[in-house]
Structures are given as C-alpha cells and as structure tokens.
Structure 1
Amino acid sequence: MPQPTEIRLDRAARVLHVSFDDGKEFALPAEYLRVESPSAEVQGHSPDQKQTVAGRRHVGITAIEPVGHYAIRLIFDDRHDTGIYSWDYLRQLGEEQDRRWAGYLNELAARGLSRDPG
C-alpha cells in the first residue's frame, strides 16, 4: 500500500495536501475531511448509522498529530478530534473525493440541511 511522503496543511485555504510515494497527490478540504471523519461519532458502528454532518463549510484544522506509523489524528476548530485517519483511509478519501462529495451534497439536500452553520 502506498505511504505518504508529505502531509502539509494550508491553514488559509483550509486544505490538507497529501502526497504518496507512488506519485499520487490529493488536496483534501477540511470540510470534506470533517464530514467524512472515520470516528464512530460520524461513521457509527455500521454503514446505516453514518451521520450527515451539516454546517461545516468554514471548519478548519488546528492540529495534526501522528498516530504510530500508520495514521494521523486531525483536530478541527469545531473541537472534533476523535477521527484517526489511516494512510489507507486518506488515500481512499482522495481517490473517491468527487463521488463522496457529490453524495454528501445530495444527502444534505435530501435532508433539508446546509453546509453553512446555524
């Protein structure tokens, strides 16, 4: 499995840049990472328990903490900090970004929710 060679946070743009040793690079917005957090709070304990997280358009990442040699923990400015993003999951989020983001926007619309806070 490819390993990250660089993880760089652009705080102003609220984007996490991840480069892998096979040359793949992804720009992952903080909002996307937050609403797709691997935490049980967001994902639940089965696919039918996944939560639709609304109102995170302006969320930022305040810190990145290493978790062993296999993952990072992202700390968001809305105080969410329980998701452990493995290298495999970061790669999956990058590769599936367009599909997952479209699904998220469709789910918000279906539930009458907004990306905007409040």
Structure 2
Amino acid sequence: MADVWPKELRVSPDRKVLTISFDNGEAYALPAEMLRVLSPSAEVQGHSPEQRVTVPGKIDVTILKVEPIGNYAVRITFDDMHDTGLFSWTYLHQLGLEKESRWRGYLDELAEKGLRRER
C-alpha cells in the first residue's frame, strides 16, 4: 500500500464519526464504535493474534479528543477513557478500505462469543 497523507480529519457534531480525507482523493467516515473496537492498542490487539480481544458493549461510544502524534498518527480518546491506541495514517486508510469486511468480522466474532454491541 502506497503511503497516504491525511488532508483533513473531522469529528462529527455528535462525536460518533471520524471522517478522514486523504491526499489521493479518498475519504472515509469511520464510526467511533468501529475505531474503538478495532483500536490498534495492545489492550485490544494483544501482543499476538491469539491475545486479541473482542470488545463488546461500545455501540454508544463517542470520541472525546483527537490529538496528533508526530507526523504519522493520532491518538483518539474515547468517552470510556480508552486512549492507548495510536492510529497511524496507514492504519486509518486500511480501516477505510476494509471497512465492510472488518466490521462484518467484528459482528461475526461477537455472535460466536455470545457478546453484544449494547452494554
């Protein structure tokens, strides 16, 4: 995947969607819930695929803050106070490109484990 550079990041007024526009003309609206449950943090991803956690109960999560980390990423603070994932431009672009398949995979994992999106 070629390097992409963000032109604009915008949090919706209800704080439930982060829209990111890239210099290649692509733009993606990423729901806060998806960003939270697919956070690149060790808390969610673990240190190996076997340690990855399926995070339930985040349907109402919102974005409190988005802050730049150097020139390569942002830290997103959610209203459940999760803020340990650094979302690189490449990861955000990948989430946009793979939004449907990643979301379907998450919903399938919830169902397999008997978990719910609601609290």
TM-score, normalised to structure 2, is 0.96
Deviation at 1:48, TM superposition (A): 1.5
What SS does structure 2 have at the residue aligned with 1:109? Answer: helix
For residues 1-118 of structure 1, the aligned pairs below 5 Å read 1-12=3-14, 14-117=16-119
| Identical counterparts, % of pairs | 56
Deviations along 1:63-118, whole A, 9 cap, x unmatched? 0010001000000000101000000000011111100000000000010000001x
Deviation at 1:8, TM superposition (A): 0.3
Q: Which amino acid aligns with 1:87?
A: W
Q: Is the 8 A contact 1:11 1:61 kept in 2?
A: no
Distance 1:95 1:49 in 2: 25
Is there any run of 5+ residues in structure 1 with no aligned partner, and where? none
Number of aligned pairs?
117
Moved over 6 A (4+): none
Deviation at 1:11, TM superposition (A): 3.6
Deviation at 1:13, TM superposition (A): 5.7
TM-score, normalised to structure 1, is 0.97
Q: Which amino acid aligns with 1:92?
A: Q
Deviation at 1:49, TM superposition (A): 1.1
Q: Is the 8 A contact 2:15 2:63 kept in 1?
A: no
Q: Is the 8 A contact 1:19 1:25 kept in 2?
A: yes
- Cα RMSD, aligned residues only: 0.8
Distance 2:55 2:15 in 1: 21
Distance 1:6 1:13 in 2: 16
